């Protein structure tokens, strides 16, 4: 008797597991979320903007609007969705993370982008930061990701949300995207231990680079650099941050060469 009930409960679990896998909605399909849940996410997003972004001093209206518009819950793995609007980073697979919303907003504001500007992001990850940049009026977005699976997934997520205008590339962002340089803004969302020389060269005069720099495995300092007419980079310290390491041959091959100040 006991044996039968053990077998039948095992069967139940197998059936449940089976029905779960076959009925699972595809990733990042906005129509797969019931409207009540969507509404809850919208409310959470509004609260996130007020409590964790506006209250900490972000004032740029375009940035606030972008943060209120982009559905962050569609850029995180399904099992993280309920936490998507929390005041912290979240894992996105391959040992990488989607940054804390406040950090995304602050870095976006520090880029000081205007209509007609072109911006390069190094470290597409989930595609969330790229989507926030793409929401800024008249800004053209280029983004590079080194992990092929993440690059592919981010491209699909961005396209499924209608951001077909974002230029995505898989590759080592140490070398930037020379074909589309110069950029008015460059944002780096992984931490190198020096400013990659190609990125410095691909920044327009008057352009802003926002980048965390620090020793591998440690905390970093977030810098805003503004390129001067003579090519010098004026540096503004924006405080301590914790980003995933910058990877790839470019950074390893240039460990001795980079140096500080950039
Ligand atoms: N901006 C992302 C955060 C991603 S975390 C988002 O909104 O989700 C940093 C990302 O930088 C990771 O996906 C990592 O794979 C990527 N990365 C690290 N080194 C890189 C390099 N040399 N070139 C391009 N991407 C890199």
Any residues with CB less than 8 A from the CB of 24 and at least 6 apart, and which? 78
- Which one of 125, 166, 196, 255 would you pick to mutate in the ligand 1 pocket, going by the greatest count of ligand atoms within 8 A of its CB? 125
Q: Which two tokens stand for residue 256?
A: 């001795």
Averaged pLDDT, 214-219 = 86
Q: State what percent of residues in the chain have pLDDT above 70.
A: 85
Q: Report CA 169 to chain centroid distance, whole Å.
A: 14
Q: Residue 245: pLDDT band by 50, 70, 90 thresholds?
A: very high
pLDDT above 50 (res 128): yes
Residue 170: strand pairing partners:
145
Q: Which of 70, 172, 86, 181 is nearest to 126 (CA)?
A: 70
Alpha-carbon torsion, ordered 48, 49, 51, 57, to 10 deg = 140
Residue 147: CB within 6 Å of ligand 1?
yes
Q: What pLDDT shows up at residue 252?
A: 82
| Structure tokens belonging to residue 138 | 């008249």
| CB distance 173 to ligand 1 below 6 Å | yes
* pLDDT at residue 18, rounded to an integer: 31
Cα distance between residue 50 and residue 57, in whole Å? 10
- Closest by Cα among 133, 192, 122 to 163: 133
Please determine, for residue 92, whether its predicted confidence score (pLDDT) is greater than 50. Answer: yes
Q: State the pLDDT at residue 66.
A: 98
Question: Does residue 24 surpass a pLDDT of 80?
Answer: no
H helical segments located in 111-147? 128-134
Q: Which pLDDT band holds residue 217 (cuts at 50, 70, 90)?
A: confident
What is the average pLDDT across 148-160? Answer: 98
Ligand 1 centroid – CA 123 distance (Å):
3
19: annotated active-site residue? no
Confidence of residue 216 (pLDDT cuts 50, 70, 90): confident
Q: What is the mean pLDDT of residues 217-240?
A: 96
pLDDT value, residue 29: 58
Region of 170 please: left (phi>0), alpha (psi -120 to 50) or beta. beta
Predicted local distance difference test score (pLDDT) of residue 197: 96
Higher pLDDT, 55 or 258: 55
Q: Are 85 and 101 in contact (CB under 8 A)?
A: yes
Is there an atom of ligand 1 within 6 Å of 98 CB?
yes
Atom 18 (ligand 1): residue with closest C-alpha? 246
| Predicted local confidence at residue 31, as pLDDT | 54
Q: Give pLDDT tens digits for 161-186.
A: 999 999 999 999 999 999 999 999 99
> What is the predicted pLDDT for the residue at 255?
57
User: Does residue 13 surpass a pLDDT of 70?
Assistant: no
Ligand 1 center from residue 96 Cα (angstroms): 7
- The β-bridge relationship of strands 203-213 and 233-241 is unpaired
Q: Say whether pLDDT at 256 is over 70.
A: no
Ligand 1 contact, 209 CB (< 6 A): no
Delimit the domains of the chain by residue range.
35-253
Confidence (pLDDT) at 8: 39
Cα 48 to ligand 1 centroid, rounded to whole Å: 23
What mean pLDDT do residues 116-140 have? 98
CB of 246 closer than 6 angstroms to any ligand 1 atom: yes
Q: Is the pLDDT confidence value at 33 over 60?
A: yes
CATH architecture of 35-253: 3-Layer(aba) Sandwich (3.40)
Q: What pLDDT is recorded for position 204?
A: 98
The four Cα atoms 180, 224, 250, 93 give a dihedral, to 10 degrees, of -90
| From 8, 99, 126, 160, active-site residue | 99
Q: Is the pLDDT of residue 1 over 60?
A: no
Tell me the average pLDDT of the chain: 88
In short, whether 144's Cβ falls inside 6 Å of ligand 1 is: yes
3-state helix, strand, coil in the chain (%, to 5): 40, 20, 35
How far does residue 78's CA lie from ligand 1's centre (Å)?
Answer: 20
The answer to whether the CB of 189 is under 6 A from ligand 1 is yes
């Amino acid at each position: 008797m006991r044996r039968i009930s053990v077998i039948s409960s095992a069967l139940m679990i197998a059936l449940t597991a089976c029905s779960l896998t076959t009925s699972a909605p595809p990733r990042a399909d906005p129509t797969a979320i019931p409207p009540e849940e969507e509404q809850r996410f919208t409310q959470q997003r509004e609260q996130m903007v007020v409590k964790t972004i506006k209250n900490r001093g972000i004032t740029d209206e375009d940035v606030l609007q972008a943060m209120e518009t982009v559905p962050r819950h569609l850029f995180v793995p399904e099992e993280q969705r309920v936490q998507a609007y929390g005041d912290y980073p979240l894992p996105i697979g391959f040992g990488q993370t989607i940054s804390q919303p406040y950090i995304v907003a602050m870095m976006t504001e520090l880029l000081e982008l205007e209509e007609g500007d072109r911006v390069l992001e190094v470290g597409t990850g989930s595609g969330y930061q790229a989507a926030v940049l793409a929401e800024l009026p008249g800004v053209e977005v280029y983004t590079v990701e080194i992990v092929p699976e993440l690059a592919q997934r981010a491209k699909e997520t961005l396209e499924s949300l209608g951001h077909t205008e974002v230029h995505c590339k898989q590759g080592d962002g140490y070398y930037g995207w020379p074909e589309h340089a110069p950029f008015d803004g460059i944002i780096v969302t992984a931490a190198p231990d020096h400013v990659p020389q190609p990125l410095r060269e691909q920044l327009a005069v008057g352009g802003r680079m926002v980048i965390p720099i620090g020793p591998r495995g440690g905390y970093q300092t977030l810098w805003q650099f503004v390129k001067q007419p003579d090519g010098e980079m004026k540096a503004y310290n924006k405080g301590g941050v914790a980003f995933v390491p910058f990877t790839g041959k470019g950074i390893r091959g240039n460990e001795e060469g980079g140096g500080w100040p950039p």
